[in-house]
């Protein structure tokens, strides 16, 4: 399994926002905390806003804040929303599949099962679980030297 940078940055952003306990946080602060481009973070934050995990606050002093408690956000659900193409092989895409073994290939079934198991395993964790042992570290990332 391989998550895109988009999804990776979104998960990191959720963890950072969760550690900030409801405080409005600017995209550039999150980007600086993780040492990545603000544009990349903004794109991930837009996806999280569209998926209704966070709220975008416009204007001076604006930024991003959670819509709901981190304990209600399952990691697998976030990944599934942000990685719609967890396709591991060509046969997962009806439009692009040129494999002569489909339909009926056992590999497609095995890979599909692996993807579902991956999501199910991630869904055993909430955002709160990911933040719990990392709160101080996450908060220190945003501190100015």
Among 9, 45, 4, 14, CA closest to 125:
14
Question: What does the pLDDT profile of the chain (145 residues) look like in tens digits?
Answer: 678 899 999 999 999 998 888 889 999 999 999 999 999 999 999 999 999 999 999 988 899 998 888 899 999 999 999 987 776 655 565 666 666 656 666 777 787 788 889 999 999 999 999 888 776 666 676 565 4
Q: Which residues pair with 63 in a beta bridge?
A: 57
CATH no. for residue 115?
1.10.10.10
**Domain hosting residue 65, numbered range:** 5-141
Does this model's pTM top 0.85? My answer is no
Cis peptide bond upstream of 103, omega within 30: yes
Count of domains observed in the chain: 1
Q: What kind and span of H or E run contains 27?
A: helix 27-34
Distance CA 20, CA 86 (A): 30
Q: Are 132 and 75 in contact, with CB atoms under 8 Å apart?
A: no
Distance CA 36, CA 10 (A): 12
Q: Are 38 and 21 in contact, with CB atoms under 8 Å apart?
A: no
**Helix, coil or strand: residue 61:** coil
Among 66, 62, 55, CA closest to 26:
62
Supply the pLDDT for residue 21: 80
DSSP track, 77-139: HHHHHH-S----SGGG-TTT---TT-SS-HHHHHHHHHHHHHHHHHTT-BHHHHHHTTHHHHH
């Amino acid at each position: 399994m391989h998550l895109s940078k988009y999804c990776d940055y979104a998960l990191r952003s959720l963890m950072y926002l969760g550690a900030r306990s409801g405080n409005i946080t600017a995209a550039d602060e999150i980007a600086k905390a993780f040492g990545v481009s603000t544009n990349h973070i903004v794109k991930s934050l837009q996806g999280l806003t569209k998926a209704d995990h966070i709220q975008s606050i416009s204007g001076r002093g604006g930024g991003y804040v959670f819509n709901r408690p981190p304990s209600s956000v399952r990691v697998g659900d976030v990944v599934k929303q942000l990685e719609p193409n967890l396709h591991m092989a060509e046969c997962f895409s009806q439009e692009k599949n040129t494999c002569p073994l489909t339909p009926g290939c056992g590999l497609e079934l095995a890979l599909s099962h692996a993807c579902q198991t991956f999501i199910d395993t991630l869904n055993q964790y909430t955002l709160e679980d990911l933040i719990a042992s990392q709160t101080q570290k996450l908060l220190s990332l945003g501190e100015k030297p």
